[in-house]
Structure 1
Amino acid sequence: MNMFEKISFYPGKVIYEDFHIDINKPLDFEDDGLKEDMFKVQYPDNLILDIGWYDGINKFIIYIIKDFDWDNPIQKTECDLVDLYYKTETCAILIRDLLSKK
């Protein structure tokens, strides 16, 4: 069971899932699993929710991207593993809100 299984990404579709972190282990033991490309959801209207690990800051970053404009994300959320589930769910809700306003 992956960490994000209970989050509703509707109407998005998970297009990449390589998140294999054991939330019961310290991140020090997860060197192989921590990388920039870990989880991605494609939404209508060219929106993407992207999650990755960034060594330079030792945090996860959740991006909300529109039209593949990575230089100007709609949202950039930095968090640690403890907050990752909640912040990912919050970003998914934000995307649904953005889509409902169209």
Structure 2
Amino acid sequence: MFDDIDFSPGLIAYNGTEFLDQEDIFQVRYNYGMNIIIDVGWYRKEFAVVVIKDYDWDNPLMEKRCVDLNKLHDLVQECSEYVREIIA
């Protein structure tokens, strides 16, 4: 689902994109001087994409929500580009 997105230098930690109706769908981890996570999940009625720094889930660096799969792809792309900018 996100195969065409460049997550480098991150590593895909979890890929459950075949089960889009579960809370945990996809996660990328970046460990380059700071712990950053891109997390994708389904929350009852919408998808959420969050960027987390240093495991502070209460204060995400970025949070995006949508209900459409095409929009979800765009949001994950946007978050990936954001992370690459802040770790550069």
Task: Give yes or no for TM over 0.5.
Answer: yes
Identity of aligned residues (%): 38
Q: Secondary structure at the match of 2:72?
A: helix
Distance in structure 2 (CA, Å) of the matches to 1:88 and 1:82: 10
Partner of 1:95: 83
RMSD: 1.0
Distance in structure 1 (CA, Å) of the matches to 2:23 and 2:59: 17
Structure 1 segments unaligned to the other structure (5+ residues): 22-32
TM superposition shift of 1:35:
1.4
TM superposition shift of 1:82:
2.5
Q: Secondary structure at the match of 2:86?
A: helix
Deviation string, structure 1 residues 46-86 (Cα, Å, up to 9, x no partner) = 0000000000xx11000100011100100110012220111
Higher normalized strand content (fraction of residues): 2
Partner of 1:8: 6
Distance in structure 1 (CA, Å) of the matches to 2:35 and 2:66: 24
Partner of 2:16: 18
Misfit runs of 4+, over 4 Å:
none
Structure 2 segments unaligned to the other structure (5+ residues): none
**1:26-37 alignment, distance < 5 Å:** 33-37=20-24
**1:39-50 alignment, distance < 5 Å:** 39-44=26-31, 45-50=34-39
Distance in structure 2 (CA, Å) of the matches to 1:69 and 1:62: 15
Structure 2 length as normaliser, TM-score?
A: 0.91
Structure 1 length as normaliser, TM-score?
A: 0.79
Matched, 1:66 2:64: no
